[in-house]
Structure 1
Amino acid sequence: MKTTDIYGLPYIEAGDLVSAAPAQFKTMAEGIETALAEVDSRNTPAGVKPVIATTLEALAAQTGVTGQTGYVTADTTTANNGPYFWNGSAWLPYATGGMLDDLRNQLTQGYESGTFSGQTNGDAVAEISWKSHTTKPAGMVVTRLRIDNQSDDSTVYIVPYLWSLRPGSAWVRFRNNLMNTWATTYAVSFCWFAWWD
Protein backbone atom coordinates (compact mmCIF):
# COMPACT_ATOMS: atom_id res chain seq x y z
CA MET A 1 0.00 0.00 0.00
CA LYS A 2 1.04 3.57 -0.65
CA THR A 3 0.02 6.67 1.28
CA THR A 4 -1.17 10.15 0.29
CA ASP A 5 1.29 13.05 0.52
CA ILE A 6 -0.45 15.34 3.02
CA TYR A 7 -2.14 13.18 5.67
CA GLY A 8 -0.50 9.84 4.90
CA LEU A 9 -3.79 8.10 4.15
CA PRO A 10 -3.10 4.54 2.95
CA TYR A 11 -4.69 3.32 -0.28
CA ILE A 12 -4.87 0.06 -2.19
CA GLU A 13 -2.87 -0.37 -5.38
CA ALA A 14 -3.55 -2.58 -8.38
CA GLY A 15 -0.86 -5.05 -7.33
CA ASP A 16 -2.26 -5.59 -3.80
CA LEU A 17 -3.68 -9.08 -3.26
CA VAL A 18 -7.39 -9.63 -2.67
CA SER A 19 -6.53 -12.10 0.07
CA ALA A 20 -5.04 -9.24 2.09
CA ALA A 21 -8.15 -7.05 1.68
CA PRO A 22 -9.37 -7.24 5.31
CA ALA A 23 -6.00 -6.09 6.67
CA GLN A 24 -5.74 -3.43 3.98
CA PHE A 25 -9.21 -2.03 4.73
CA LYS A 26 -8.33 -1.97 8.43
CA THR A 27 -5.10 -0.05 7.64
CA MET A 28 -7.08 2.40 5.48
CA ALA A 29 -9.68 2.97 8.21
CA GLU A 30 -7.01 3.51 10.87
CA GLY A 31 -5.16 5.98 8.58
CA ILE A 32 -8.37 7.98 8.07
CA GLU A 33 -9.07 7.93 11.80
CA THR A 34 -5.54 9.19 12.57
CA ALA A 35 -5.89 12.04 10.06
CA LEU A 36 -9.31 13.00 11.41
CA ALA A 37 -7.99 12.96 14.99
CA GLU A 38 -5.16 15.28 13.92
CA VAL A 39 -7.58 17.70 12.25
CA ASP A 40 -10.00 17.55 15.20
CA SER A 41 -7.23 18.19 17.74
CA ARG A 42 -6.27 21.37 15.90
CA ASN A 43 -9.75 22.73 16.58
CA THR A 44 -9.62 22.18 20.32
CA PRO A 45 -8.55 24.86 22.82
CA ALA A 46 -5.38 22.87 23.47
CA GLY A 47 -4.63 22.64 19.74
CA VAL A 48 -4.96 26.33 18.93
CA LYS A 49 -3.57 27.78 22.15
CA PRO A 50 0.17 28.58 21.86
CA VAL A 51 2.57 26.61 24.05
CA ILE A 52 4.58 29.13 26.08
CA ALA A 53 7.93 28.32 27.67
CA THR A 54 10.67 30.47 29.17
CA THR A 55 13.53 28.47 27.57
CA LEU A 56 13.95 26.39 24.43
CA GLU A 57 14.78 23.40 26.61
CA ALA A 58 11.44 23.79 28.43
CA LEU A 59 9.58 24.08 25.12
CA ALA A 60 11.34 20.99 23.75
CA ALA A 61 10.12 19.01 26.78
CA GLN A 62 6.50 19.60 25.68
CA THR A 63 4.63 18.22 22.70
CA GLY A 64 2.02 19.90 20.57
CA VAL A 65 -0.47 19.34 17.79
CA THR A 66 1.00 19.38 14.29
CA GLY A 67 1.09 23.01 13.17
CA GLN A 68 0.60 24.40 16.69
CA THR A 69 2.60 27.51 17.64
CA GLY A 70 4.98 27.67 20.57
CA TYR A 71 6.90 30.61 22.04
CA VAL A 72 10.17 30.88 23.93
CA THR A 73 10.11 34.06 25.98
CA ALA A 74 13.21 34.36 28.19
CA ASP A 75 15.99 32.02 27.10
CA THR A 76 19.49 33.19 28.10
CA THR A 77 20.52 32.58 24.47
CA THR A 78 18.53 35.39 22.89
CA ALA A 79 18.57 33.72 19.44
CA ASN A 80 16.38 30.96 20.93
CA ASN A 81 13.59 33.41 21.84
CA GLY A 82 10.65 33.74 19.49
CA PRO A 83 7.99 31.69 17.71
CA TYR A 84 8.18 27.98 16.92
CA PHE A 85 5.81 25.42 15.40
CA TRP A 86 5.28 21.74 16.16
CA ASN A 87 6.00 19.60 13.06
CA GLY A 88 4.69 16.39 14.60
CA SER A 89 7.88 15.41 16.36
CA ALA A 90 9.78 18.59 17.30
CA TRP A 91 9.50 22.35 17.74
CA LEU A 92 11.03 24.18 14.78
CA PRO A 93 11.60 27.96 14.60
CA TYR A 94 9.47 30.12 12.33
CA ALA A 95 11.54 32.20 9.94
CA THR A 96 11.87 35.67 11.46
CA GLY A 97 12.79 38.84 9.58
CA GLY A 98 16.35 38.58 10.90
CA MET A 99 16.65 34.97 9.74
CA LEU A 100 15.42 35.92 6.28
CA ASP A 101 17.91 38.81 6.12
CA ASP A 102 20.74 36.46 7.13
CA LEU A 103 19.68 33.94 4.48
CA ARG A 104 19.44 36.67 1.83
CA ASN A 105 22.96 37.84 2.77
CA GLN A 106 24.30 34.28 2.53
CA LEU A 107 22.75 33.81 -0.89
CA THR A 108 24.20 37.04 -2.27
CA GLN A 109 27.56 37.15 -0.50
CA GLY A 110 29.23 35.03 -3.17
CA TYR A 111 28.40 37.11 -6.24
CA GLU A 112 27.52 40.50 -7.68
CA SER A 113 26.10 41.41 -11.07
CA GLY A 114 24.96 44.43 -13.00
CA THR A 115 24.80 46.35 -16.25
CA PHE A 116 27.15 49.14 -17.31
CA SER A 117 26.11 51.81 -19.81
CA GLY A 118 28.50 54.70 -20.39
CA GLN A 119 31.76 55.67 -22.02
CA THR A 120 35.19 54.17 -21.83
CA ASN A 121 37.92 56.47 -20.50
CA GLY A 122 41.08 57.62 -22.27
CA ASP A 123 42.57 54.15 -21.74
CA ALA A 124 39.50 52.45 -23.31
CA VAL A 125 38.48 51.19 -19.83
CA ALA A 126 35.07 50.97 -18.19
CA GLU A 127 35.41 50.48 -14.43
CA ILE A 128 32.98 48.44 -12.30
CA SER A 129 33.02 49.01 -8.52
CA TRP A 130 31.89 46.27 -6.12
CA LYS A 131 28.85 47.11 -4.01
CA SER A 132 29.31 44.72 -1.10
CA HIS A 133 32.76 43.14 -1.42
CA THR A 134 36.18 44.41 -0.42
CA THR A 135 38.22 41.51 -1.78
CA LYS A 136 39.16 40.55 -5.32
CA PRO A 137 36.64 38.17 -6.95
CA ALA A 138 37.60 34.71 -8.15
CA GLY A 139 36.33 35.52 -11.63
CA MET A 140 34.08 37.68 -13.77
CA VAL A 141 32.14 37.32 -17.01
CA VAL A 142 31.32 40.23 -19.34
CA THR A 143 28.72 40.16 -22.13
CA ARG A 144 28.52 43.06 -24.58
CA LEU A 145 25.12 44.67 -25.26
CA ARG A 146 24.20 46.50 -28.44
CA ILE A 147 23.35 50.19 -28.05
CA ASP A 148 20.31 51.24 -30.13
CA ASN A 149 22.01 53.97 -32.16
CA GLN A 150 25.18 51.95 -32.90
CA SER A 151 25.68 50.04 -36.13
CA ASP A 152 25.90 46.27 -36.21
CA ASP A 153 29.55 46.56 -37.27
CA SER A 154 30.28 48.60 -34.16
CA THR A 155 28.71 45.95 -31.98
CA VAL A 156 30.69 43.18 -33.66
CA TYR A 157 34.10 44.85 -33.80
CA ILE A 158 34.21 46.61 -30.42
CA VAL A 159 35.22 43.76 -28.13
CA PRO A 160 35.43 43.77 -24.29
CA TYR A 161 38.41 42.29 -22.47
CA LEU A 162 38.48 41.67 -18.74
CA TRP A 163 41.60 43.68 -18.05
CA SER A 164 41.97 43.74 -14.28
CA LEU A 165 40.27 42.26 -11.20
CA ARG A 166 40.95 44.25 -8.02
CA PRO A 167 39.74 44.23 -4.41
CA GLY A 168 37.49 47.25 -5.03
CA SER A 169 36.72 47.10 -8.74
CA ALA A 170 37.25 45.55 -12.16
CA TRP A 171 38.50 47.09 -15.39
CA VAL A 172 36.89 46.09 -18.67
CA ARG A 173 38.93 47.35 -21.62
CA PHE A 174 37.48 47.64 -25.12
CA ARG A 175 39.34 47.00 -28.36
CA ASN A 176 38.23 48.26 -31.80
CA ASN A 177 39.24 45.25 -33.90
CA LEU A 178 38.10 46.89 -37.15
CA MET A 179 40.55 49.79 -36.71
CA ASN A 180 43.10 47.75 -34.71
CA THR A 181 43.08 50.33 -31.87
CA TRP A 182 41.73 50.65 -28.35
CA ALA A 183 38.16 52.06 -28.19
CA THR A 184 38.87 55.20 -26.15
CA THR A 185 35.99 57.45 -25.02
CA TYR A 186 33.57 55.10 -26.73
CA ALA A 187 29.93 54.48 -25.74
CA VAL A 188 29.56 50.90 -24.49
CA SER A 189 26.97 48.80 -22.70
CA PHE A 190 27.54 45.40 -21.14
CA CYS A 191 26.29 43.00 -18.47
CA TRP A 192 28.69 41.56 -15.93
CA PHE A 193 28.71 38.82 -13.31
CA ALA A 194 31.47 38.44 -10.69
CA TRP A 195 31.82 35.68 -8.11
CA TRP A 196 33.82 35.12 -4.93
CA ASP A 197 34.97 31.82 -3.40
Structure 2
Amino acid sequence: MSENQETNRDREIREQMKKQYLEEETKLQQGMEEEESALRDYFKNIQKPLPSDPTIIRRKRYNEKMATYQEVIKDISLKEMVKTIWQYEASTPEENETLYDCKQFFKWRCYEGMGACLAMTSLISFFNRRYLSYTAKGLGVFVGLGTGFAMGFLRSTQYTLQRLEELGQDYYLGRLAINEIEDFRMDKVIKKNI
Protein backbone atom coordinates (compact mmCIF):
# COMPACT_ATOMS: atom_id res chain seq x y z
CA MET A 1 0.00 0.00 0.00
CA SER A 2 2.82 2.29 0.64
CA GLU A 3 3.88 1.88 -2.98
CA ASN A 4 0.33 2.59 -4.07
CA GLN A 5 0.19 5.68 -1.90
CA GLU A 6 3.51 6.85 -3.30
CA THR A 7 2.31 6.34 -6.84
CA ASN A 8 -0.91 8.21 -6.05
CA ARG A 9 1.11 10.93 -4.45
CA ASP A 10 3.48 11.00 -7.43
CA ARG A 11 0.49 11.25 -9.75
CA GLU A 12 -0.96 14.12 -7.73
CA ILE A 13 2.39 15.88 -7.73
CA ARG A 14 2.74 15.32 -11.49
CA GLU A 15 -0.78 16.58 -12.07
CA GLN A 16 -0.11 19.65 -9.91
CA MET A 17 3.14 20.25 -11.77
CA LYS A 18 1.30 19.85 -15.09
CA LYS A 19 -1.35 22.32 -13.94
CA GLN A 20 1.30 24.79 -12.78
CA TYR A 21 3.19 24.32 -16.02
CA LEU A 22 0.03 24.82 -18.10
CA GLU A 23 -0.96 27.88 -16.05
CA GLU A 24 2.52 29.38 -16.43
CA GLU A 25 2.51 28.57 -20.13
CA THR A 26 -0.90 30.21 -20.63
CA LYS A 27 0.27 33.24 -18.63
CA LEU A 28 3.42 33.46 -20.74
CA GLN A 29 1.41 33.07 -23.92
CA GLN A 30 -1.06 35.76 -22.84
CA GLY A 31 1.80 38.08 -21.90
CA MET A 32 3.48 37.47 -25.25
CA GLU A 33 0.21 38.10 -27.10
CA GLU A 34 -0.32 41.32 -25.14
CA GLU A 35 3.23 42.46 -25.91
CA GLU A 36 2.78 41.54 -29.55
CA SER A 37 -0.50 43.45 -29.81
CA ALA A 38 1.06 46.44 -28.01
CA LEU A 39 4.03 46.39 -30.40
CA ARG A 40 1.69 46.03 -33.38
CA ASP A 41 -0.33 49.05 -32.19
CA TYR A 42 2.87 50.99 -31.54
CA PHE A 43 4.20 50.38 -35.04
CA LYS A 44 0.81 51.23 -36.56
CA ASN A 45 0.64 54.49 -34.64
CA ILE A 46 4.27 55.40 -35.25
CA GLN A 47 3.39 56.10 -38.88
CA LYS A 48 0.56 58.45 -37.91
CA PRO A 49 1.70 61.86 -36.62
CA LEU A 50 0.01 63.26 -33.56
CA PRO A 51 -2.55 66.03 -34.13
CA SER A 52 -0.65 68.25 -31.70
CA ASP A 53 2.62 67.79 -33.63
CA PRO A 54 4.15 71.27 -34.18
CA THR A 55 5.16 70.50 -37.76
CA ILE A 56 1.58 69.60 -38.67
CA ILE A 57 0.27 72.75 -36.98
CA ARG A 58 2.84 74.86 -38.87
CA ARG A 59 1.97 73.16 -42.15
CA LYS A 60 -1.76 73.81 -41.59
CA ARG A 61 -1.11 77.48 -40.83
CA TYR A 62 1.14 77.76 -43.88
CA ASN A 63 -1.52 76.17 -46.10
CA GLU A 64 -4.17 78.54 -44.72
CA LYS A 65 -1.93 81.56 -45.37
CA MET A 66 -1.15 80.37 -48.88
CA ALA A 67 -4.85 79.88 -49.59
CA THR A 68 -5.63 83.45 -48.49
CA TYR A 69 -2.69 84.82 -50.49
CA GLN A 70 -3.86 82.95 -53.57
CA GLU A 71 -7.36 84.37 -53.15
CA VAL A 72 -5.95 87.89 -52.90
CA ILE A 73 -3.45 87.51 -55.74
CA LYS A 74 -5.84 85.66 -58.06
CA ASP A 75 -7.10 88.83 -59.76
CA ILE A 76 -3.79 90.72 -59.79
CA SER A 77 -1.58 90.55 -62.84
CA LEU A 78 2.04 91.66 -62.71
CA LYS A 79 1.83 93.54 -66.01
CA GLU A 80 -1.09 95.65 -64.85
CA MET A 81 0.56 96.33 -61.51
CA VAL A 82 3.82 97.52 -63.10
CA LYS A 83 1.88 99.54 -65.67
CA THR A 84 -0.16 101.18 -62.91
CA ILE A 85 2.93 102.03 -60.87
CA TRP A 86 4.81 103.37 -63.88
CA GLN A 87 1.89 105.45 -65.15
CA TYR A 88 0.74 106.65 -61.73
CA GLU A 89 -0.33 110.27 -61.77
CA ALA A 90 -0.59 112.16 -58.55
CA SER A 91 -3.23 114.72 -57.71
CA THR A 92 -0.91 117.74 -57.66
CA PRO A 93 1.66 119.02 -60.18
CA GLU A 94 4.42 119.05 -57.53
CA GLU A 95 3.92 115.35 -56.88
CA ASN A 96 3.84 114.63 -60.62
CA GLU A 97 7.09 116.53 -61.14
CA THR A 98 8.77 114.70 -58.26
CA LEU A 99 7.57 111.34 -59.55
CA TYR A 100 8.85 112.14 -63.03
CA ASP A 101 12.27 113.09 -61.64
CA CYS A 102 12.39 109.91 -59.56
CA LYS A 103 11.47 107.75 -62.56
CA GLN A 104 14.13 109.39 -64.70
CA PHE A 105 16.72 109.00 -61.96
CA PHE A 106 15.74 105.34 -61.59
CA LYS A 107 16.08 104.77 -65.35
CA TRP A 108 19.51 106.35 -65.52
CA ARG A 109 20.76 104.50 -62.46
CA CYS A 110 19.59 101.24 -64.02
CA TYR A 111 21.28 102.11 -67.32
CA GLU A 112 24.51 102.95 -65.47
CA GLY A 113 24.40 99.74 -63.45
CA MET A 114 23.57 97.60 -66.46
CA GLY A 115 26.33 99.22 -68.49
CA ALA A 116 28.91 98.73 -65.74
CA CYS A 117 27.96 95.12 -65.05
CA LEU A 118 27.69 94.32 -68.75
CA ALA A 119 31.15 95.82 -69.32
CA MET A 120 32.54 93.72 -66.44
CA THR A 121 31.05 90.47 -67.72
CA SER A 122 32.12 91.29 -71.28
CA LEU A 123 35.70 91.94 -70.14
CA ILE A 124 35.77 88.72 -68.14
CA SER A 125 34.41 86.71 -71.05
CA PHE A 126 36.82 88.45 -73.49
CA PHE A 127 39.91 87.66 -71.44
CA ASN A 128 38.72 84.10 -70.83
CA ARG A 129 37.36 83.51 -74.33
CA ARG A 130 39.50 80.40 -74.79
CA TYR A 131 38.01 78.71 -71.76
CA LEU A 132 34.38 79.88 -71.77
CA SER A 133 31.69 78.45 -74.00
CA TYR A 134 29.14 80.57 -75.86
CA THR A 135 26.43 79.67 -73.36
CA ALA A 136 28.60 80.92 -70.49
CA LYS A 137 29.13 84.21 -72.34
CA GLY A 138 25.39 84.57 -72.94
CA LEU A 139 24.69 83.74 -69.31
CA GLY A 140 27.24 86.37 -68.30
CA VAL A 141 25.38 88.97 -70.36
CA PHE A 142 22.06 88.16 -68.68
CA VAL A 143 23.65 88.07 -65.23
CA GLY A 144 25.26 91.44 -65.91
CA LEU A 145 21.97 92.98 -67.01
CA GLY A 146 20.07 91.57 -64.01
CA THR A 147 22.73 92.63 -61.54
CA GLY A 148 22.90 96.09 -63.06
CA PHE A 149 19.14 96.50 -62.83
CA ALA A 150 19.17 95.44 -59.16
CA MET A 151 22.08 97.77 -58.45
CA GLY A 152 20.29 100.68 -60.14
CA PHE A 153 17.11 99.97 -58.20
CA LEU A 154 18.95 99.91 -54.88
CA ARG A 155 20.95 103.04 -55.66
CA SER A 156 17.86 105.01 -56.68
CA THR A 157 15.70 104.03 -53.69
CA GLN A 158 17.38 106.40 -51.25
CA TYR A 159 17.13 109.31 -53.69
CA THR A 160 13.46 108.57 -54.34
CA LEU A 161 12.63 108.49 -50.63
CA GLN A 162 14.51 111.74 -50.04
CA ARG A 163 12.72 113.50 -52.88
CA LEU A 164 9.32 112.28 -51.71
CA GLU A 165 10.14 113.26 -48.13
CA GLU A 166 10.98 116.78 -49.31
CA LEU A 167 7.34 117.15 -50.40
CA GLY A 168 6.37 117.17 -46.72
CA GLN A 169 3.22 116.28 -44.83
CA ASP A 170 0.99 118.36 -47.10
CA TYR A 171 1.17 115.83 -49.93
CA TYR A 172 0.01 112.21 -49.94
CA LEU A 173 3.27 110.83 -51.38
CA GLY A 174 5.27 112.87 -48.86
CA ARG A 175 3.29 111.39 -45.97
CA LEU A 176 3.85 107.89 -47.40
CA ALA A 177 7.60 108.45 -47.63
CA ILE A 178 7.81 109.87 -44.12
CA ASN A 179 5.83 106.93 -42.72
CA GLU A 180 8.12 104.47 -44.54
CA ILE A 181 11.21 106.17 -43.18
CA GLU A 182 9.74 106.24 -39.66
CA ASP A 183 8.76 102.57 -39.81
CA PHE A 184 12.19 101.40 -40.90
CA ARG A 185 14.46 103.60 -38.80
CA MET A 186 17.27 101.49 -37.37
CA ASP A 187 16.76 102.52 -33.75
CA LYS A 188 13.11 101.39 -33.96
CA VAL A 189 14.08 98.12 -35.62
CA ILE A 190 16.73 97.42 -32.99
CA LYS A 191 14.32 98.19 -30.11
CA LYS A 192 11.67 95.97 -31.68
CA ASN A 193 14.06 93.01 -32.00
CA ILE A 194 15.48 93.29 -28.49
Instruction: Compute the TM-score of the two structures, normalised by the length of structure 1.
Output: 0.19
Instruction: Compute the TM-score of the two structures, normalised by the length of structure 2.
Output: 0.19
